[in-house]
Structure 1
């Protein structure tokens, strides 16, 4: 069985196919899934380039979409032929977070889904949204669920709220689609005028080019009439947090999702205190939250934005496309 495996040392040049044993047939409480698609995340990029320490010579990619080929004894949730999608935290089923690292995340601490087939416990997958192909389904595992948890699970998003999204990558574009489907107003930032226009076409109500407007947090707050936004999907980290605090309303919610500008830096604590805002870190979500998200997708008909698709044997090229930051939404991998 072919699998795309990280090298030693982990670099895009050493990321390559390797032979792995077929996983065989499922045992009690397990399913065998034939995989057909994935999508790229910056977490994946960190692992395959060695910036993050994953399993040595591990199978890449946290997201996996496919079809159930066989079920083990006692399995009632899935049947042969079901379209399914993986969970980022296969051991976090419900309730409050139970893990603060990636030791059990596919494509990091354990083998991922850049392979032909897997045999796993049923709890490692959920049903895919209706009508989604494998690549589309795989976009919900990490990026989609992160946006869903930030806005709905943790943020309590409701119609009429105002949401600020940073950038036009997978999480932010999913956040745009979720927020618009639920009746919220959306503001989005980018350094690309072309990407901002694409965001407008998807329903963004206001756009800000942060290269042209340095004090974009104040500009966003002014656009709301001085009130501020209800929710911020903060993907930049220390380099953007001051502007996000400036933009949020008193008593609002900032979901700290990414650290694109760095993993440490100054936080304007007095401004955060004055805003009485909730700054909450999060990493993706639970299996139950993913099931809730799938139901919402089925109800609303949201379809993910896939920028470009690459075959599995072109995975290094796909990561280089990701590094260029030229993409809008998600990058798909299919086989």
Structure 2
């Protein structure tokens, strides 16, 4: 089978290889993969932000495909079913534990950028019929993360949600929040991107280059109340302003660190506002199943910015690195 292998921590080291087709073992299935969506996690792996990881490795945490072979002891699945595997494939449900970090698809073990992949049957979720392979491939990390933010932030009709950026998680959070009847404010450095997300349902857009004190703008838009949920995707560069923009009893859901991983933040407003600072580590298979169910019930269609061919994998990674996207970046394994 053809596969992309990462042989060194460099995007140029993403190369096409010919490898044996894997065989499913006990409790596993073999899936023929049709599409992969990229996440910041994949980019971090390909640019050396993780250490002591196995190489060569087939990257790609998220993919969509169909079951073509069942391993011994697999029940409840049939050949031909369209599925997506969860990224943390040993975390089936409940609270996260330390051992769940030892099985990260496309990071500690082979992932989606290959014609075929073996995955644990317990990590699979069925794909809704109305989604394409490309759309379904965007769900495991981004949709699960966004769904957990909405749940932990207790978003309901009348809530205000603040989203930092226009990436895949933010777009899913926008769609989930609007389905829940919430008001959504989004930040970007691009007026063009803000116009796109407003067309997708965002109520307000703030260009943080034009308004560097965007937290004050959020407070003004909410009559001094602030946002009930802040999706904090940047990290150190924005965290203090996220605290300022949050409502009393609000939730800051932390999903990224592209703006720095070491925080210096004011403690007093966290105490005064009784804020909930919640970390995120994607989610379990049960979380993914709930996220997909919400998409199915609400008729949410994932927003894809651009699709690349399998042979254009390096270009896809560089496009994600450029941060020019609104929504998800996808690689079509059949193109």
Q: Identify whether the pair has TM-score above 0.5, normalized to the shorter chain.
A: yes
Tell me the distance in 2 between the aligned counterparts of 1:55 and 1:173: 32
- SS of residue paired to 2:102: coil
Aligned length: 332
Tell me the distance in 1 between the aligned counterparts of 2:81 and 2:259: 40
Aligned to 1:149: 148
Q: 1:290 to 1:101 in 2, by over 3 A?
A: closer
Q: 1:100 to 1:270 in 2, by over 3 A?
A: farther
Tell me the distance in 1 between the aligned counterparts of 2:26 and 2:263: 49
User: Counterparts in 2 of 1:18-97, with a 5 A limit?
Assistant: 18-24=17-23, 26-53=24-51, 54-97=53-96
Aligned to 2:304: 306
Tell me the distance in 1 between the aligned counterparts of 2:150 and 2:99: 20
Tell me the distance in 1 between the aligned counterparts of 2:280 and 2:234: 14
Provide, for residues 176-210 of structure 1, a one-character-per-residue CA deviation record: whole Å limited to 9, x for no partner: 01111111110000000000011110111111110
Indicate conservation of the 8 Å contact 2:111/2:117, yes or no.
Answer: no
Provide, for residues 85-106 of structure 1, a one-character-per-residue CA deviation record: whole Å limited to 9, x for no partner: 0101101111111248753111
2:187 to 183, 186, 189: 189
Deviation at 1:76, TM superposition (A): 3.0
- SS of residue paired to 1:195: helix
- SS of residue paired to 2:218: helix
- SS of residue paired to 2:263: coil
**Are 1:241 and 2:278 matched, yes or no?**
no
Tell me the distance in 2 between the aligned counterparts of 1:292 and 1:101: 19
Deviation at 1:129, TM superposition (A): 2.4
Alignment gaps of 5+ in structure 2: none
Aligned to 1:205: 203
- SS of residue paired to 2:45: helix
Tell me the distance in 2 between the aligned counterparts of 1:227 and 1:163: 12
Aligned to 1:318: 316
Moved more, 230-239 or 71-80: 71-80
Consecutive aligned runs of 4 or more in structure 1 exceeding 6 Å deviation:
none
Alignment gaps of 5+ in structure 1: none
Tell me the distance in 2 between the aligned counterparts of 1:158 and 1:73: 44
- SS of residue paired to 1:239: coil
Indicate conservation of the 8 Å contact 1:306/1:331, yes or no.
Answer: yes
Q: 1:184 to 1:30 in 2, by over 3 A?
A: same
Aligned to 1:3: 3
Deviation at 1:27, TM superposition (A): 4.0
Aligned to 2:263: 265
- Root mean square deviation, CA, Å: 1.4
Deviation at 1:120, TM superposition (A): 2.3
- SS of residue paired to 1:13: helix
Deviation at 1:118, TM superposition (A): 1.6
- SS of residue paired to 2:220: helix
Deviation at 1:156, TM superposition (A): 2.2
Tell me the distance in 2 between the aligned counterparts of 1:31 and 1:327: 33
Deviation at 1:28, TM superposition (A): 4.1
Deviation at 1:32, TM superposition (A): 1.4
Tell me the distance in 2 between the aligned counterparts of 1:310 and 1:236: 26
Q: 1:101 to 1:13 in 2, by over 3 A?
A: farther
Moved more, 227-236 or 69-78: 69-78
Tell me the distance in 1 between the aligned counterparts of 2:253 and 2:300: 22
Deviation at 1:13, TM superposition (A): 1.2
